[in-house]
Amino acid sequence: QVQLQESDPGPVTPSQTLSLTCTVSGGSITAYKYYWSWVRQAPGKELEWMASIGYSGQTYYRPSLENRMSLFRDTSKNQFTLQLTSVTPEDTAVYYCTKDRNLHTAPSTIDEYDYWGQGTQVTVSS
């Protein structure tokens, strides 16, 4: 059974770089034809896909956030990490890491993904 666990970034202040790591157990992040993603949901807003990394390391970014994001993986630790620079209060959201057989970039609900973590609350505040 695949399990995903998001890291807790702790307090985040505006202009910082947010770093979130997803630790995966029960399956390899290099497994063929799977995609590993970060999505978020801000209060009162829809679920938003942010970025994905594929089984061979290819990355995909939401165009509106691409210049602020970096997604990379550590295959030795079976982890993938999202970095988001210059955060503002608008980045306050619950962030989820997910696994799916498809590059799923327009989710409506989190259960559209095959697997997802419990989510981690990120609050950007001064």
Q: What is the pLDDT of residues 63-120, one digit of tens each?
A: 999 999 999 999 999 999 999 999 999 999 999 999 999 999 999 999 999 999 999 9
Q: Can you give the pLDDT at residue 32? A: 85
Q: What is the pLDDT of residues 4-16, one digit of tens each?
A: 999 999 999 999 9
Q: Can you give the pLDDT at residue 50? A: 98
Q: What is the pLDDT of residues 31-62, one digit of tens each?
A: 888 999 999 999 999 999 999 999 999 999 99
- Sequence-distant (≥ 6) Cβ neighbours of residue 76 within 8 angstroms: none
Count CA within 13 A, CB hemisphere, residue 5.
9
- Sequence-distant (≥ 6) Cβ neighbours of residue 123 within 8 angstroms: 11, 12, 92
Rounded-to-10 torsion of CA 9, 116, 25, 58: -80
Q: How far apart are CA 121 and CA 125, in angstroms?
A: 13
